[in-house]
Amino acid sequence: MKRALFIFGLIIGLLTADVYPCTNLLVTKGASEDGSAFLVYTNDGEWLYKPSIMPAEDHAPGDSLTIGHGKIHQVPHTYAVIGFQMNEFQLAVGETTFTGREELWNHGKFLKYWHLMSLALQRAKTAREAVEVMTSLVEQYGYGSEGESFSLVDPDEAWILEMIGTGEGGEGAVWVARKIPDGFISAHANMARIGEFPLNDPENCLYSDNVISFAVEKGYYDPDSGKPFRFNEVYNPPSPDRLKYCESRVWSIFRRAAPSLNLSPDYCRGVKGAERYPLWIEPDEKLELKDVFALVRDHYEGTPFDMTKGLAAGPFGTPNRWRPLTWDDEQNNSYSWERPVSTYNTAFSFVAQLRSWLPDDIGGICWFGPDDTYFTCYVPFYAGITEIPEPYTIGDINHYSRQSMWWAFNFVSNYANLKYSYMIKDIQKVQSELEDKMIAQQDSIVEAALRLTPLWRSQMLTEYTGKLGSEVHRRWVELGDMLITKYNDGYVKDTNGRIKSVGYPKEWTDEMIRLYPEKYKIPDWNKENKQKNLPY
């Protein structure tokens, strides 16, 4: 019953939110400075997520698990899980939805993608095992979601599994999984990314028996065409709007991790004939934890698509573009705003740090952050903790509450839109101070924890995480109070509380004059004696 209720609660949370536009970054241990593997998952949807701890549990022979209107077999033992992010063996899971061919969505099947994520964490110790758990479940019970890309990362291996259904009345699923070579990173963002794949390399590539034959049967692929079979092109055909919305995020992560590749934006801009981005790349330099945080804090800054520049950003350079992101003109031309990695409607994100040289309970860290990646502050939730810090467990999206961690962050990020170019500096100062402090403490925490028995280590880590959560919550409430005081009524107050009228940036007023040359112009009666200082 516990399991049924847990998954039911998870379903309710996910179904009441649009969680489709997510972003994932996978970093193998050989691509990181200290040998950690990483998985970043942004869950983008307008909902307030409260992480929880599900303890390990034994089950009687013949037990079943109720999921929606169906049942599946239970296993003798399930593992402890933090939310639906990471389990006690440092296995982390993420996803992005690519939808693909909608006629393959089998709405009649009860097993959805979020069930597979939860079940993989409960039943698998490694990323490879997670692939086997998820694919065997859909083979037995069917698959009831649209096209999905899953990230499965443990301390030693990182896999991408891409899956799509077989349509109404169909059974099983169509899927392919590839292991990311050690020393490389990968990313996906709402488009299938696995193209060609080896058919005879089970160590590094797994796939369903029907992955090609089903495509031939449905007319998606002609084996006599002379073209290679590519999963992404067959099951998720690209279109200019999807490329701009999805692949731009992958391009931006890759171009920042490996500037030497000089990756062209042509493909994500929908240029015909442009080359697809590789499934994985080798970063120019090995990544540290803070580098991973930085890669998912991105609005295309420094590129032609920089969302902090131009008229759409307003006078103070806010990168946020309110939904809907697309619109048409009277001639039926279609337009869209950019969709960045960092977005205001991120419910939460996490950075799983997985360390093979440490015991699992302290080696695995889920660095958790509510709200927008650009504004959040990541706090370490160790695999061995038994409680989530209280501020993360409080809140209702329909009722503002200062006691809620999500609302504390959401208030700051929303208020910053009024004078973004000023406020982001104040926010990043606190963000960097707290994150740098927590990262700097990691070695001493590990050293202290390793001297304890597992039971006492769990208690120590739980208390430490609780203190960090409370401190971050307090600081973010104070940050919100400071911002609304410092920038009240459009002014900027100095450290002594004196107000200053900062006006608008010259680039913006010049643009206003260009667009409206007469609208704001003061008649020039006497240019030499013109009064320039208007009354307050």
Model confidence, pTM? 0.95
pLDDT at 534: 60
pLDDT at 9: 44
pLDDT at 1: 39
Query: b/e map of 372-394 (b: 16 or more CB within 10 Å)?
Result: bbbbbbbbbbbbbbeebbebbeb
3-state secondary structure 80-102: CEECCCEECCCCEEEEEEEECCH
pLDDT at 106: 97
- CA–chain centroid gap for 503, Å, is 36
pLDDT at 524: 85
Largest interatomic CA distance in the chain: 95
Dihedral class, residue 78 (left if φ above 0, else alpha if ψ from -120 to 50, else beta): beta
pLDDT at 295: 98
Give whole-number Cα distances, 325 to 46, 166, 329, 336, 344, in Å: 15, 31, 14, 5, 13
pLDDT at 21: 82
Cβ atoms 405, 395 nearer than 8 A: yes
- CA–chain centroid gap for 22, Å, is 5
pLDDT at 289: 98
CA-based nearest residue to 348, from 302, 306, 381:
381
Q: Is the dihedral angle over the CA atoms 49, 116, 127, 162 positive or is it negative? A: negative
Alpha-carbon distance of 269 to 247, in angstroms, equals: 9
Identify the bridge partners of residue 232 per DSSP, sorted by sequence position. none
pLDDT at 528: 59
CA-based nearest residue to 129, from 161, 82, 107:
161
What are 452-492's pLDDT values in tens digits?
A: 999 999 999 999 999 999 999 999 999 999 999 999 999 99
Cβ atoms 20, 97 nearer than 8 A: yes
Q: Is 115 helix (H, G, I), strand (E, B) or coil?
A: helix
| ∠ Cα 116 92 385 (to 5°) | 110
pLDDT at 56: 97
pLDDT at 14: 45
First-to-last CA distance in the chain? 68
3-state secondary structure 257-319: HCHHHCCCCCCCCCCCCCCCCCCEECCCCCECHHHHHHHCCCCCCCCCCCCCCCHHHCCCCCC
Alpha-carbon distance of 308 to 347, in angstroms, equals: 22
Alpha-carbon distance of 262 to 256, in angstroms, equals: 10
pLDDT at 15: 42
pLDDT at 525: 84
**Residue whose token pair is 């969680």:** 19
pLDDT per residue as tens, the chain (536 positions): 344 444 444 444 444 444 458 999 999 999 999 999 999 999 999 999 999 999 999 999 999 999 989 999 999 999 999 998 999 999 999 999 999 999 999 999 999 999 999 999 999 999 999 999 999 999 999 999 999 999 999 999 999 999 999 999 999 999 999 999 999 999 999 999 999 999 999 999 999 999 999 999 999 999 999 999 999 999 999 999 999 999 999 999 999 999 999 999 999 999 999 999 999 999 999 999 999 999 999 999 999 999 999 999 999 999 999 999 999 999 999 999 999 999 999 999 999 999 999 999 999 999 999 999 999 999 999 999 999 999 999 999 999 999 999 999 999 999 999 999 999 999 999 999 999 999 999 999 999 999 999 999 999 999 999 999 999 999 999 999 999 999 999 999 998 999 999 999 999 999 999 999 999 999 988 765 555 666 55
